[in-house]
Amino acid sequence: MLTPDDIAAIARELAVADRTHGVIPRITARYPAATVEDSYAIQAVWRDANIAAGRRLVGRKIGLTSKAMQQATGISEPDYGVMFDDTVYRSGADIPVDHFSNVRVEVELAFVLKEPLEGPDATLDDALRAIDVAVPALEILNSHIELDGRTIVDTIADNAAYGAMVLGDERRRPDEIDLRWVPGVLSRNGEIEETGVAAGVLGHPATGVAWLANKLHQHGARLEPGEIILAGSFTRPVWVSRGDTVRCDYGPMGVIECRFI
């Protein structure tokens, strides 16, 4: 395992990369013995420094919950990161591409909680009771660690590669729609790039919310009312560049559009 000094030093490196939109060498290339718990410790130090600087935590993202994403990254287990208030966009937004590194988008559902959810034995039914509404969402990936050869340790330390999210306008309670069959048809500049359905996320997208509650319990935390939870992508990531227009059709849950400038 890494020493506290190592953890603090890596967290500082990632903070600089975040500010400068740069990329650092893989943690696992420099610290081969680093563990998943080390990577969450790095993420926690980075998170706490951001909160101390005035950023407000509004939720958490879950990643690598679908076979499509696991195959795309070569990683076989989910992870999670935190989301701050200044990373939330609404459909129709112009998004500055220079704010991110290795910019890609994914198709997801987000959930807003009305009740706390705590592990260690949270189930899908528990998650559905705690959820107020489901919202269509795009996640913007933002990787500050070189992509070639990265492992889940690198990804988690880098806040699970979270950059921002774009929320749609539709809101549905879990009892109003079968969330498993919400579709996503993702287009870039008018050309369809990826399609999928939300059941690709662990069989039901809210399963990830229960997984996250149980994972957080291991770290002495729980999900709180009002938090937004990004449940994980059910498509592979699509690279975007300045000038690209992205549109995703979620069928009964509406459309999200944004432009990268």
Model pLDDT, residue 115: 97
CA–CA gap between residue 89 and residue 168 (Å, rounded): 9
pLDDT of 72 strictly over 80: no
Q: Which domains, and CATH codes, for the chain? A: 57-260 (3.90.850.10)
What is the percentage of the chain residues whose pLDDT exceeds 90?
Answer: 91
Structure tokens at 53: 């600087």
Element (H, E) at 198: none
Residues in the chain: 261
pLDDT tens digit string along 209-232? Answer: 999 999 999 888 999 999 999 999
pLDDT digits (tens, 9 = 90+) for 14-65: 999 999 999 999 999 999 999 999 999 999 999 999 999 999 999 999 998 8
How much is the pTM? 0.94
pLDDT of res. 73: 63
- Residue 72, judged by CB atoms within 10 A of its CB (0-12, 13-18, 19+), counts as middle
Q: What is the mean pLDDT of residues 77-92?
A: 95
pLDDT confidence band for 66 (50 / 70 / 90)? confident
